[in-house]
């Protein structure tokens, strides 16, 4: 996969030389290049922004500068990604489809009040795949951290990046739609806290059941919104018993329904 990131702070992307993403680059799995938007400016001050039409606080990034940069970087099969708090939420499913389908990502990191809205519209009109995405319901100072997050979440899904692909299967936000169960390692007793005995039992079936129950309980407590979205067909008798102990009921056809007193979200 080829990834181009455009930013006015190229140093912000330095961590992309580290850890798994750094290794994926060295291994040639991902060809990642970071560009300074100011390289496409033409004035002495290397200006990238101006005041907003219609008034208001802050500055807006100029479409002509972004247009010059993106015309040069976008190709036939590029996916243009714009991090913005007003975008659609980035999810594991989105990262999976990007990892599976896209050959070339161009990530345009906005700063200030954002990039002139004509930029995204223009490239969409020209037939480029354009996605405005948000990390979550909070505001960052710019898109660089969101670009780091997107790249890490996508690159770790590319074949050959994570040593044991099995570790991708059971993690939180995996296909089961549940948060991951808690994990433990040595020592078996730490500051008087013991590892749950079932994990030392060597009984594979019981371990699996315990982990599933823990995942259900965690999801019920921390992310009832995810639990409600579970497909009832995926819930066996034991799942239903566990959920019932937690105060939830599973409807015949619809999603998982909590009894009113069970949920406080
Ligand atoms: N830029 C500023 N805030 C952001 C957010 N929450 N997600 C993505 N990009 C952003």
Ligand 1: centre distance to CA 10 (Å)? 17
Specify the pLDDT at position 174: 83
Task: Give the relative orientation of helices 144-155 and 92-101 as an angle to the nearest 10 degrees.
Answer: 70
For residue range 191-232, list pLDDT tens digits in order: 999 999 999 999 999 999 999 999 999 999 999 999 999 999
pTM: 0.93
Average pLDDT over all residues of the chain: 94
Mutate which of 108, 140, 151, 153 to test ligand 1's pocket (most atoms within 8 Å of Cβ)? 140
| SS3 assignment, position 7 | strand
245-262 CB burial, b ≥16 within 10 A, e <16: ebebeeeeeeebbbeeee
Specify the pLDDT at position 264: 60
**95: pLDDT strictly greater than 70:** yes
For residue range 80-93, list pLDDT tens digits in order: 999 999 999 999 99
Structure confidence at residue 34 as a pLDDT band (50, 70, 90): very high
Q: What is the mean pLDDT of residues 116-127?
A: 98
The protein residue with its alpha carbon nearest to ligand 1, atom 7, reads 134
Q: What is the mean pLDDT of residues 74-83?
A: 98
Six token digits for residue 86: 């007003």
Ligand 1: centre distance to CA 63 (Å)? 19
Specify the pLDDT at position 125: 98
Mutate which of 84, 88, 147 to test ligand 1's pocket (most atoms within 8 Å of Cβ)? 84
Q: What is the mean pLDDT of residues 40-46?
A: 98
**Burial class of residue 58 (count of CB atoms within 10 Å of its CB; 0-12, 13-18, 19+):** exposed
Specify the pLDDT at position 263: 61
Q: What percent of the chain has pLDDT over 70?
A: 96
**187: pLDDT strictly greater than 90:** yes
* Ligand 1 atom with least separation from CA of 135: 7
Specify the pLDDT at position 14: 97
Specify the pLDDT at position 169: 73
Specify the pLDDT at position 253: 65
Ligand 1: centre distance to CA 249 (Å)? 37
**176: pLDDT strictly greater than 80:** yes
Residue 128's alpha-carbon distances to 102, 106, 121, in angstroms, are 12, 11, 10
The protein residue with its alpha carbon nearest to ligand 1, atom 5, reads 85
Mutate which of 5, 9, 83, 110 to test ligand 1's pocket (most atoms within 8 Å of Cβ)? 83
Structure confidence at residue 261 as a pLDDT band (50, 70, 90): low
The protein residue with its alpha carbon nearest to ligand 1, atom 6, reads 85
Q: Is the CB of 18 under 6 A from ligand 1?
A: no
Ligand 1: centre distance to CA 55 (Å)? 22
């Amino acid at each position: 996969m080829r990834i181009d990131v455009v930013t006015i702070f190229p140093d912000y992307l330095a961590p992309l030389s580290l850890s798994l993403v750094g290794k994926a680059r060295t291994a040639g799995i991902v060809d990642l290049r970071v560009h300074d938007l100011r390289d496409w400016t033409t004035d002495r001050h290397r200006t990238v922004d101006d005041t907003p039409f219609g008034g208001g606080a802050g500055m807006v990034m100029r479409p002509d500068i972004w247009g010059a940069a993106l015309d040069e970087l976008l190709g036939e099969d590029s996916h243009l990604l714009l991090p913005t708090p007003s975008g659609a939420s980035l999810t594991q499913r989105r990262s999976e489809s990007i990892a599976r389908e896209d050959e070339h990502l161009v990530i345009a990191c906005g700063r200030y009040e954002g990039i002139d809205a004509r930029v995204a519209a223009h490239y969409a009109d020209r037939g480029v795949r354009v996605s405005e995405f948000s990390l979550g319901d909070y505001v960052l100072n710019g898109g660089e951290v969101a670009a780091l997050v997107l790249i890490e979440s996508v690159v770790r899904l590319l074949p050959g990046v994570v040593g044991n692909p099995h570790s991708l299967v059971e993690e939180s936000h995996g296909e089961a739609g549940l948060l991951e169960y808690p994990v433990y390692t040595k020592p078996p007793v730490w500051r008087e806290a013991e590892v749950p005995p079932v994990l030392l039992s060597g009984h594979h079936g019981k371990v699996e059941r315990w982990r599933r129950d823990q995942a259900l309980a965690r999801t019920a407590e921390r992310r009832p919104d995810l639990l409600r979205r579970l497909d009832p067909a995926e819930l066996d008798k034991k799942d239903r018993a566990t959920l019932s102990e937690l105060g939830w009921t599973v409807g015949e056809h619809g999603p998982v329904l909590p009894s009113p007193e069970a949920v406080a979200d």
